[in-house]
Chains A and B, each alone.
Chain A
Amino acid sequence: MKPLPLAMRIGILGLTCAIIVLIALMTSGANPAEVMTALLTDTFRSPTAFADTLKRFCPYMILGVAVFWALRAGLFNIGVEGQFLMGGMAGTVVALQIGGLGGVILGALAGTLVGALWALPAAWIRAYRGGHEVISTIMLNMIAFQLSNHLVSGPIMDPEAGFPTTKTLPPESMLSGIQIGDVNVNWALGLGIGIVVAFGWWLRRTVAGYELSVTGANSTAGAFAGIDVRRTTFSALMASGAVAGLGGGLQAVAFEGRFFMGFSTGYGFDALGVAILAGSNPLGIIPSAFAYGLLQQGALAVQTLHVPPGIATLILSLLVILFSAFRYAKVRHSNG
C-alpha cells in the first residue's frame, strides 16, 4: 500500500489529538470553547496573571536550555528537576546568609554549582562507566526531592512559619526588574533570553558546539574525527546540570524569594517538552517556553470552570507527541 502524503498524515494525527482534547473536555461537562478561551487568554487577563506567566516562562526557558544541551549530545537529562530543586535550595540559603546584591549573585552562582554537582554522578557514570543517564538522573531526582523536603522541614525551615519553608528574602536582597506599564519584568527574564541566545551561538558557531553535535549525532564518527567523546559527554551533562541549577537559584532570588516544599511545580519535567517542542533551533526554546508558561497559567483559570488543570498538561503532551511525529516523519522523508 502506498503511504499517505506527509501533510495528510500529520493532519490526521492533529485531528485525532483535537478529538482527544474535545472528549476530555466534554466528559468534564464544560463548554469546550469557553475552556479553550480561558486556557489561551488568561495570561492577558490581568497584570498579575501576566506576571505569573513570566514567573513560569523564565525557568521553562533556562531549564529548556539545560535539556536541549544534553539532548544535542545525545543524552536525556531527566534530572533537570532535581538539579533545579537543589539549585533553588542552595541559592536561597546563600542569598539569605549574605543578603543584598552580593547575595543575589552568589545565590545564583551557588545554584549553578550545586546543579552541576547534582549532575556529576550521572555524568561520570555515563561517560566513564557506560551506565545510562536516564536511570541515574531519575534516582538523583528522588534523592533531591526527599533531601530538599527533609532540609526544608527541619534544618533550614523558618521556625516561625507554619509549613515547610525557609525565611523569605527581603526585597532588597532579591533581583529586581523594570516596570513596563503595569507589569514588572524581572532582570532574570533578560538573563534567561540571554542564556538561550548565548547557548544558540555557542552551539552553532563554535567548534566546541560542533563537536557536541557530532557526538550526539554519531559518536563513532566523532571518535574517528578526533573528538574525545567521553569528555564531551561528561561536560555536556555537567553543563546541563549547571544551567538547571542556575535556573533554580534564579527562581529563588528573582521570583520566589524563598525555598519551600513545592518550590517546583514540575518545571524540570515540563522542560523536557519545552526542549523537544523547540525543534532543532535553540532559539525555538523561547516561544516553546512561553507556550508552556501560558498554558500552565490558563490551567489555573480553567479550574474556575470546574475543569481539572491537568487539561493543560494533556494539551501540552499531545503537542509534544504531535511535534515529535512530525519531526520524525521529516527525517525519514529526507532519507527516503
Chain B
Amino acid sequence: MSIVALEGITQRFGDFVALDNVSLHVQKGDLHAVVGENGAGKTTLMRILYGALSPSSGTVSVRGQQRNYRSSRDAIADRIGMVSQHYAIIPELTCLQNLMLGAEEGAVMNLAACRTRADDLASRMGFSFDWSAKAETLGPAGAQKLEILKLLWRNAEIMILDEPTAMLSPRDADALFESLKKLAQDGATVILVTHRLPEVMDYCQNVTVLRGGKLITHQAVTEVTKPELAELIVGHALTEFPSREVTPTEAVLSVQNFSVIGDRGDEAVKGASFQIGKGELVGLAGVDGNGQRELFHALLGTRGFHGLANLNGEDLAQNSTRDRIEAGVRIIAEDRHDEAIVEDWSLADNAVLGFQRLPSFRAGPGINEAYKAERVQEYITRFNTKCTSAAQPIGSLSGGNQQRFVAARALGESPSLVLAFQPARGLDIDATRAVYQGLREVCERGAGALIVSFDLDELLEFCDRILVINGGLISSPAAKKRAEIGQLMVGAK
C-alpha cells in the first residue's frame, strides 16, 4: 500500500492550470523521484502534499487515510516535512536555535535536553554539529544537513526535498544520498524533486515524470534508462549538444594575480590568474560561496580588486561599470529580481537598462525611441519570451520568461565579454540550449564568455573549457573530466 497517494490533483491559478489531473503514489521506505522541467508542476504538487496549497480538485491520502490539510502546520503534525530549494535558515541564530525554531517544546526550553536530542539525531545520521555556532558559519552542505535534521526534529517520516543538491559539490551530494538511504532503511520515505538524472538513476527506486502540469509516466527506475527519462521529461528526442574545438589566438580577458576582498574583510578571491580567449566559452565550476560572486562582481565593476585585469588591452582597474559596458561587457546577473530588472517597468524600459549610455541607444539627451522599440522586439523574439507586448511589466512574466529576456539582452549590442552567473536559472532544457547556443554565436563573432554555475554537468555539457574555484583559488584542470573537476571543487586534489 502507498504511504502517500495523491489522486486526480488539479491546481488552477486563475486561468492557468498548473497541474492537470495528476496522481502520485509513493511506497513506504522508498526514495521516490519527481522529475520534470521548470514549470512542470513538481514544486506545486509537493506544496499540495505539504499543505501549503489546497488543490482545486483531487484528493490527498496519507497512510491510507484521506487528508485535508489546511496549512503546512497540519502536514507537519502528520509527520510530513519539506526542505525547499531556498533554505529557511537564519544566519544570525545558532545551529541549535535554527534546529528548534518553530518547534520548541514549550514556552520554557530545557536547553540541555534539547542539545542531547540534537546530538542524538545528528549522530544517527552520521553528522556532527557545533550547536552553539552561528548558522552563518555553515557552508551549503552543512545548511542542507541542518535542514534535514530540522525535519527529524519534527519527527517527520515523509520527507520532501526540493532540489537538495542544487548547491552541493558532487562529493557532498553523494554523502547526502548516503544519509538519505540510511533514513529510508530506518523506515522514512523520501520524495526527491530534482532535474538531475544521475541521482535518480543511482539512488531512487521509483520515478514520476511531469511535463506541463500533466503526469507523463510513473515507473520503477530499473525499467527506464537515462536517455529515455530525458526524452520523457522534454517530450522529444534530445541530440547531444555538439562539442567543438576552440584554439583562441588572443585573449579577450586576461587577469593576473587577481584578488578580491569579500564582505567580511577576508580575501574571497586569492591571486587568480587566467585568460579568456576570443571565441571561448569558459565555465567556472565550484561550490556556492567559494568566491564566484566576488570574482563576478569585481569583473563587472561593482566591487574593487587588486592585481591586473585587462579587457582587450584596456586596464580595468581605472574603469567603472559604465566604462566596461561601453567596452562591451555584458551581464547576466545572478539575482534577476535584484540585479537585472525593474519589475514594475515594461519590457521596453528594461531593454534599455545597462545600455542607456551607449551611443547606439542615444538620441540627443535622451533615448532613441525607434531603436529601443526595435531592440526590445529582438530581445523578446531571440529566446521566445512569452508576453503580450513590449509594454507589459516584466514582473508579470514568469521567472523563466524574464530570464529569456535578460539573457537575450546580454547577447545584444555586440558584446566583447559576457559575464553570466547561472544563465540557465529557471530555464527548461530547450531554452537552456538556446541560450548557450546564443552564447556560442557571440563568441564565434569574437567575444569571450565566463559562465559561473553550481551545476557541473551543465558546464561540462556546454562550455569549451572549465576553470575551478575553491576557497578563492582558481585552478585549471587539464581536461573536461568530471571526476577530476569534482575533486578540485572540494580541494581534494
Contacts and interface: CB of A to CB of B under 8 A. Distances in A.
Interface of A: 205-208, 210-211, 214, 217-218, 220-221, 223-228, 331, 334-335
B356 interface: yes
Contact of A226 (B345, B357, B367): B357
18 contacts: A205-B366, A206-B365, A206-B366, A207-B362, A208-B365, A210-B349, A217-B345, A218-B341, A224-B339, A224-B340, A224-B354, A225-B321, A226-B324, A226-B356, A227-B321, A228-B322, A331-B344, A335-B344
Contacts of A331: 344
A205 B331 CA distance: 25
B339 A221 contact: yes
Contacts of B366: 205-207
A175 B365 CA distance: 32
> Which of A210, A226, A331 counts the most B-chain CB atoms under 10 A from its CB?
A226
Nearest to A205: B366
B365 A334 contact: no
A335 B302 contact: no
A218 to B, nearest CB: 5
Contacts of B342: 214, 217-218, 221
**Range of interface residues on B (Cβ < 8 Å):** 20 to 34
Given A221-B340, A221-B353, A226-B321, 7 more contacts: A217-B342, A217-B344, A221-B341, A224-B333, A226-B324, A226-B326, A335-B396
B454 to A, nearest CB: 20
A218 B333 CA distance: 14
B352 interface: yes
B343 interface: yes
A16 B207 CA distance: 56
Nearest to B338: A220
Q: Which secondary structure dominates where chain A touches chain B?
A: helix
Nearest to A204: B366
A3 to B, nearest CB: 13
Interface in B290-331: 300-302, 320-326, 331
Nearest to A224: B339
A220 B357 CA distance: 17
A315 B357 CA distance: 44
A226 B357 CA distance: 9
B340 A210 contact: no
B367 A207 contact: yes
B357 A207 contact: yes
A161 to B, nearest CB: 48
A144 B183 CA distance: 69
Interface in B147-196: none
B29 interface: no
Contacts of A217: 342, 344-345
Interface in B339-384: 339-345, 349, 352-354, 356-357, 362, 365-367
